[in-house]
Chains A and B, each alone.
Chain A
């Protein structure tokens, strides 16, 4: 069974500084990987996804993530954060092939400091 670990529960960052949110996964088979964002009192929205091909994936709002198979990681990055990026970010994984559930990490709360 697959699992997702988000190593940081909270990350404070100054506005306009770069940020990296870490995600590691475990699975015995090939996977699809996702990052979702949750703004207060809302559901989750897809930021980006890795299905196959290029390991560098670009998403919405200037975010990107890199799939590293050898390190089983899928870290999320943004070169310059804005106050509007304040939200909770979730990494998710699902096994390729057959229908299966999508498993989420515990989330990382991004605090943007003025």
Chain B
């Protein structure tokens, strides 16, 4: 039973380019969360999605960032016109339909470097 799969593991982009981060949740999981991790800052919540629905995007920057979780296929976190401050590790987590008392299962993250 495959865990949460994130790809790519490492992504290098130049300033102004677009970054697309993919997350395939565990089989049977319909809830996906995206977090950003910076050194000394811990994990910052970005967005919580269910299939075809954004439930909570209160942690997403208002511009350049978007996320989707289509009916078919992986969840995508998209960052347009990247800047150096976007460099971080981005983690995806999934959980089954039972809600938040079901623990989150994390992927190994995508480390984005903006040059």
Contact = CB atoms under 8 A, between A and B. Distances in A.
B25 interface: no
Interface of A: 6, 9, 32, 34, 36, 41-46, 49, 51, 90, 94, 96, 99-107
Interface stretch (B12-20, B75-83, B102-110): B102-110
Contact of A99 (B58, B91, B99): B99
Give the 5 A-B CB pairs with smallest separation, nearest first: A43-B106, A106-B42, A104-B43, A46-B103, A94-B100
B48 to A, nearest CB: 5
A43 B107 contact: yes
A34 B59 contact: no
A49 B56 contact: no
Interface of B: 4, 33, 35, 40-45, 48, 55-56, 58-59, 91, 93, 99-101, 103-104, 106-109
A101 B43 contact: no
B107 A90 contact: no
Contacts of A106: 40-42
B45 A103 contact: yes
Contacts of A42: 108-109
B26 to A, nearest CB: 12
A101 B45 contact: yes
Given A43-B106, A43-B108, A100 B100 contact: yes
